[in-house]
Chains A and B, each alone.
Chain A
């Protein structure tokens, strides 16, 4: 935080203040304009979307595009699929990852440093590089073209991320807590379940949301491992809205309406939980 001293309002400081707020305005427009444009397009009738010069505020208002997007059963199916995949992979990662994070964050054991590097290496590993091997593995186990294919392969990037961020949350908890629990006769695992997990709840929440968003966002595996449209996830569905129609007229209204349906809940969730999300995004990197 900068100094809280009161400065005298000279013309020079006023100009600097004005410039500063202008910069803030530019930042806000930069961040929000694409979202506004998607929303504007979604509620505008077609003739306005394709009109020149462009209308910056919708003159006519229509919900037709939302109706079109939501009446496509594949779209609703893709949302359900994404929720199943995101929820499952997050639940598995949190459960397995919390054990590993507890070990890495609270125990001093030989090989801990090596383990941390293995986890880090796994999270920076280019998923694309093992696409072929995963494809073979999935066809051999008959998991290709099932949602299990995505739940299993998403662990590659979600599990290490979970371990890494949870370990940094565990590390921040004071040592006295465990010592008190030990003195009371609790075993390490009792301490884990009854003391550490409840205290790490904010960290667990932040990590879960980030994990769900990462799964929700994934495109390459979803595109490569699901051939059947009933197994499409949201990104594959969105990229296919209008793919079957004429190549020259992309149904932008429908696509933006579908986009809005999948992005507004996430934006709302992220804004509501912003403090925890920022802690989750930065905690694992700055303090880890």
Chain B
């Protein structure tokens, strides 16, 4: 800080700081009302038997000990985690392929890059119902292709039939919807890598694969990390696509759907809050893993 005398007596730095805090105030007030207050009351309510409307008593850790033995919650947690790992890994690989392909110079590159925004512009509920139609067992286009055109299956597949097939189908929708986002972030990262690094490596005799792993990937790590963190957080909170496809089906209930059911449908405010807190912890663990991995790679 470099204090400079000014007419009003206060230094420029303190006047600047005062104005900065003033500018921050409206946003912080909104944050306090719509995020901080609800978050604090959620934690508090998780220690009560609140049911909306009725009386609410402090019951200590009862909700949490009940949660430990709640098989429906455990199933919801695994559904969510499996979905997250499956989609984020697929999106990272496909997003990288898309980004590398569209980073090349070719006629129509502008059009191709614009097309990346199409799935992004479609609301989740709409994309989920389009895919639901395409997945339909009797008149869906995927079965028509697999059975009628490509003869890869002898009879129509029930894409939502088992837990595994349902999870794979819903993951396909998420991959379609958000791989372009990953690709866009990676493309922006690729643009920051100087072209002469590649040329120098090429002169030194490094092949494309070698160059990818020793130049592109390390330099792309910040962009990749941001994309993965965003996608992971979104996937762990997934609600829309599962809800539209499967409704309240037990074996495809995600953590978010389980919270929504307990709070909105069953009115279990206390228990629902305990599930919310655990969900927040699961998400925090994933964030910590990323931060840890990144710190280790920095060393």
Contacts and interface: CB of A to CB of B under 8 A. Distances in A.
A230 interface: no
B27 A96 contact: yes
Most chain A beta carbons < 10 A, residue from B101, B115, B223 = B115
Interface in A93-141: 96-97, 99-100, 102-104, 107-112, 115, 118-119, 122, 124-137, 139
Interface in B210-238: 222-223, 226-227, 229-230, 233, 236-237
Contacts of A197: none
Most chain B beta carbons < 10 A, residue from A38, A104, A213 = A38
Given A41-B133, A188-B19, A267-B118, A131 B259 contact: yes
B114 A115 contact: no
Contact of B239 (A35, A107, A108, A128): A128
A99 B134 CA distance: 46
A259 B230 CA distance: 27
A20 B277 contact: no
Contacts of B27: 96-97, 99-100, 119, 159, 163
B24 A271 contact: no
Interface in B265-296: 269, 272-273, 276-277, 279-280, 283, 287
Given A31-B180, A102-B23, A125-B35, A286 B276 contact: no
Interface residues of B, number: 97
Contact of A156 (B34, B42, B123): B34
B45 A133 contact: yes
B253 to A, nearest CB: 13
A266 B121 contact: yes
Contact of B240 (A135, A219, A267): A219
Given A1-B105, A99-B24, A155-B34, A263 B192 contact: no
A107 B123 contact: no
A119 B26 CA distance: 13
Interface string B134-159: 10001111001000100000000000
B260 interface: yes
Contacts, number: 286
Contacts of B30: 96, 155, 159
B220 to A, nearest CB: 11
A192 to B, nearest CB: 8
Interface string A34-45: 110110010000
B209 to A, nearest CB: 15
Interface residues of A, number: 96
A276 B27 CA distance: 25
B129 interface: yes
Given A130-B35, A152-B34, A263-B126, A271 B269 contact: no
A109 B45 contact: no
Interface stretch (B59-67, B83-91, B162-170, B182-190): B182-190
A29 B97 CA distance: 15
Contacts of B115: 27-28, 31-32
Given A129-B277, A278-B188, A286-B222, 15 more contacts: A2-B104, A3-B199, A28-B112, A100-B23, A112-B20, A124-B229, A124-B233, A128-B279, A129-B280, A135-B264, A266-B121, A270-B117, A274-B113, A281-B184, A281-B185
13 contacts: A4-B105, A21-B106, A34-B131, A103-B24, A128-B256, A155-B30, A156-B35, A259-B126, A259-B129, A271-B114, A274-B114, A274-B117, A285-B230
Interface of A: 1-4, 20-21, 23-24, 27-28, 30-32, 34-35, 37-38, 41, 49-54, 56, 96-97, 99-100, 102-104, 107-112, 115, 118-119, 122, 124-137, 139, 152-153, 155-156, 159-160, 163, 188-189, 213, 216-217, 219-220, 223-224, 234-235, 238-239, 250, 252, 255-256, 259, 262-263, 266-267, 269-271, 274, 277-278, 281-282, 285-286
A-B pairs, top 3 by smallest CB distance, nearest first, are A133-B38, A282-B188, A130-B38
